[in-house]
């Protein structure tokens, strides 16, 4: 897509927000880790660069550098924080390490009439968010200062003639009051046109998949019931029709009615969709018997899934393509300058399929963020209930029955979990909460029921708020709702006599217990 924005990532925690904000304004943006060759990305004819922030000190000999091709391309450039310092350093300005740094909110005073601050009043302060150690102490030749804060005389700079700007603060974060306007000013002044819409993405993606898949090749897709694979299925169905084969592996670790719910919703939207439900619960449960270690459980489930999926695929004869609902954050993470993050849990997907199947991978959502996937799903006609389902892990309830998994424990957990989700919905809080579910502990506690002693199992309710599952906070649910969870679970699920609420954040805890 020519005329898009190329964001060079120098390792800031918030680089993704630049892309999200830019796209939300209607301009397509891609992120490229600093240090990768620019020849190919430049051949796609981007319309502007944004240089992200980053943790390094630009004067440090090991710090990431500004690729000369960026300046040679002669395109509009916005340098944010570290990006501004790189511009200053490379164009003849000067930097200074700052003993104190500046972190958090600051009042920013725009100066003069720089196009990037159109709509802001010169001299009138606006709240911005800072996070820097170094600072620019002398602007390069041909640049002028376009804003300051109380502690920072050069908080923004712009080239006198070219469309090159530096901002020491972060316009991409929510806490910068005029951040969106400033980004939009830059993009508009750069001469880009805001044509990025889900409808155009859907049209182009369908066209691209049709070209790749051709007229007679088959595609297989593992449906998990989650938003990503469902939207991928809808998109692929538009492109490949009855040559798309969706396989839903029922691993016996799902919530009550889950298989039917997903299958019915999809077939009512797409009556001719090929959907095969592979009923493999017994195999999964047999292999999990007596296994308590979380990683071993995950591995068993992952391997068994692959076996079942491969078997279903073989039944279809020659299948050329395997489609996956990989999202942009996963792609960025795996190519980020920091490299793939440390393994916390083995996430379960269909990677690792036997080579003899000879699939070529298609990942039609790999440039989208979660909220964009939901918008795309809406564009493709999927119902809201499907698009707003809470994430559910591939290993299913097996990682929510702590310790060994058996039919009886799964049954208790299913009943408790259904109550938790039902009550959350009844309180109208299911969209505010990222995920809410029950976890069954392998301990027993003493209680008193009627006139007798009980010795029952313990359920934990986990409800978190999050934007991307990378970090999460425990949801501050109303006490009346917590009371409903506890009284209903204890009264309606025989065998459970205690309910706890999990008040741990991620990090250091994780969302799931295993
Ligand atoms: P954690 O527990 O790592 O979970 O904080 C982060 C998010 O990922 C989901 N999750 C999984 N999703 N396969 C998945 O598809 C998995 O193996 C898996 N493990 C955790 C979890 O529900 C949360 O939304």
Please give the structure tokens belonging to residue 85. Answer: 């310092």
From the number of C-beta atoms within 10 Å of its C-beta (0-12, 13-18, 19+), residue 475 rates as buried
Strands (E), 195-283: 219-223, 244-250, 274-279
- pLDDT at residue number 340: 44
Q: Is 125 helix (H, G, I), strand (E, B) or coil?
A: coil
Residues constituting the chain:
514
By most ligand atoms within 8 Å of CB, the mutation choice from 232, 342, 352, 391 for ligand 1 is: 391
Edge-to-edge strand list for the sheet holding 321-323: 274-279, 244-250, 219-223, 321-323, 360-362
The per-residue pLDDT string of the chain (514 residues; one tens digit each, 9 = 90 and over) reads 678 999 999 998 889 889 989 999 999 999 999 999 999 999 999 999 999 999 899 989 999 999 999 999 999 999 999 999 999 999 999 999 866 777 888 999 999 999 999 999 999 999 999 988 899 999 999 999 999 999 899 999 999 999 999 999 999 988 899 999 999 999 999 999 998 888 888 998 999 999 999 989 999 999 988 899 999 999 999 999 999 999 999 999 999 988 888 888 888 888 999 999 999 999 999 999 999 999 999 999 999 999 999 999 999 999 999 998 888 777 766 665 554 444 556 665 556 677 788 889 999 998 888 888 999 999 999 988 889 889 999 899 999 999 999 999 999 999 999 999 999 999 999 999 999 999 999 999 999 988 899 999 999 999 999 877 877 899 999 999 999 999 999 999 999 999 999 999 988 999 999 9
Please give the structure tokens belonging to residue 174. Answer: 């929510």
CB 129 within 8 A of CB 117: no
Would you list the DSSP string of 290-318?
A: T---HHHHHHHHHHHHHHHHHHHHHHT--
Instruction: Find the catalytic residue in 102, 132, 165, 172.
Output: 172
From the list 465, 387, 377, 453, the residue with the least C-alpha distance to 424 is 465
Phi then psi dihedrals of residue 434, to 5 deg: -70, -45
Q: Where are the alpha helices (DSSP H) in 79-197?
A: 82-91, 179-189
- Residue 438: HSE in the Cβ half-sphere, 13 Å Cα cutoff: 32
CB 246 within 8 A of CB 278: no
**Could you tell me the distance, in angstroms and rounded to a whole number, from the CA of residue 347 to the centre of ligand 1?**
7
Per-residue DSSP letter, 132: E
- pLDDT at residue number 462: 98
- pLDDT at residue number 343: 55
Q: Where are the alpha helices (DSSP H) in 214-257?
A: 227-240
**Ligand 1 atom closest to Cα of residue 226:** 15
- pLDDT at residue number 350: 59
Beta bridge partners of 186: none
**Ligand 1 atom closest to Cα of residue 510:** 5
Q: Which residue has the tokens 């990683």?
A: 295
- pLDDT at residue number 224: 86
123 — alpha (psi -120 to 50), left (phi > 0) or beta?
left
| Atom 9 of ligand 1, nearest CA residue | 393
Q: Is 172 a catalytic residue?
A: yes
Instruction: Find the catalytic residue in 81, 102, 132, 269.
Output: 81
Asked if the peptide bond before residue 457 counts as cis, ω within 30 degrees of 0, the response is: no
- pLDDT at residue number 248: 95
**Ligand 1 atom closest to Cα of residue 395:** 17
- Alpha-carbon distances, residue 507 vs 86, 304, 444, 464, 472 (angstroms): 32, 30, 28, 12, 7
Instruction: Find the catalytic residue in 4, 132, 159, 170.
Output: 170
**Ligand 1 atom closest to Cα of residue 506:** 5
| Atom 7 of ligand 1, nearest CA residue | 469
Answering whether pTM is above 0.95, one says no
> Helix axis angle, 281-288 relative to 294-315, nearest 10°?
150
Please give the structure tokens belonging to residue 451. Answer: 């006139």
**Could you tell me the distance, in angstroms and rounded to a whole number, from the CA of residue 462 to the centre of ligand 1?**
13
Please give the structure tokens belonging to residue 210. Answer: 């049709």
Phi then psi dihedrals of residue 186, to 5 deg: -60, -45
């Amino acid at each position: 897509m020519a005329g898009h924005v190329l964001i060079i990532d120098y390792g800031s925690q918030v680089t993704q927000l630049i892309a999200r904000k830019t796209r939300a304004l209607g301009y397509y943006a891609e992120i490229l880790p600093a240090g990768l060759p620019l020849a190919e990305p430049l051949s796609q004819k981007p319309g502007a660069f944004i240089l992200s922030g980053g943790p390094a000190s630009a004067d440090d000999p090991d710090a990431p550098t500004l690729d000369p091709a960026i300046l040679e391309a002669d395109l509009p450039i916005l340098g944010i924080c570290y990006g501004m310092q790189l511009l200053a350093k490379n164009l003849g300005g000067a930097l200074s390490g700052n003993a104190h740094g500046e972190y958090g909110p600051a009042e920013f005073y725009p100066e003069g009439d720089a196009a990037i601050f159109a709509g802001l009043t010169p001299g009138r302060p606006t709240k911005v968010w800072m996070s820097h150690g170094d600072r620019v102490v002398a602007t390069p030749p041909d640049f002028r200062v376009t804003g300051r804060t109380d502690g920072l005389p050069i908080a923004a700079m712009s080239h006198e003639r070219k469309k090159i700007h530096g901002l020491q603060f972060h316009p991409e974060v929510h806490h910068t009051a005029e951040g969106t306007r400033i980004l939009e000013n830059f993009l508009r002044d750069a001469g880009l046109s805001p044509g990025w819409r889900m409808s155009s993405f859907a049209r182009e993606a369908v066209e691209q998949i049709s070209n790749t898949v051709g007229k007679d090749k088959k595609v297989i897709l593992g449906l998990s019931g989650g938003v990503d694979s469902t939207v991928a299925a809808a998109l692929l169905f538009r492109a490949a029709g009855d040559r798309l084969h969706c396989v839903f592996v029922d691993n016996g670790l799902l919530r009550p009615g889950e298989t039917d719910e997903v299958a019915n919703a999809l077939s009512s939207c797409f009556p001719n969709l090929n959907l095969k439900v592979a009923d493999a619960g017994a195999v999964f449960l047999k292999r999990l018997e007596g296994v308590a270690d979380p990683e071993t459980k995950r591995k068993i489930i992952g391997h068994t899934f692959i076996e079942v999926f491969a078997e279903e695929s073989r039944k279809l004869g020659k299948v050329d393509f395997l489609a996956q609902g990989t999202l942009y954050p996963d792609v960025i993470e795996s190519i980020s300058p920091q490299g793939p993050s440390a393994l916390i849990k083995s996430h379960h997907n269909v990677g690792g399929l036997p080579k003899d199947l000879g699939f070529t991978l298609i990942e039609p959502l790999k440039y989208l963020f979660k909220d964009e996937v939901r918008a795309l799903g809406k564009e493709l006609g999927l119902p809201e209930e499907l698009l707003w389902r809470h994430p559910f892990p591939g290993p299913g309830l097996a990682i929510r029955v702590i310790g060994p998994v058996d039919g009886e424990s799964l049954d208790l957990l299913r009943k408790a979990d259904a109550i938790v989700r039902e009550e959350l919905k009844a309180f109208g809080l299911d969209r505010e909460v990222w995920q809410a579910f029950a976890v069954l502990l392998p301990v027993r506690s003493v209680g008193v029921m009627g006139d007798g002693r009980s010795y029952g199992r313990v359920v934990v309710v986990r409800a978190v708020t999050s934007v991307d599952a990378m970090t999460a906070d425990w949801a501050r649910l109303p006490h009346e709702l917590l009371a409903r969870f506890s009284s209903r679970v204890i009264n309606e699920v025989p065998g459970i006599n205690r309910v706890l609420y999990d008040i741990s954040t991620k990090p250091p805890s994780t969302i799931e217990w295993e």
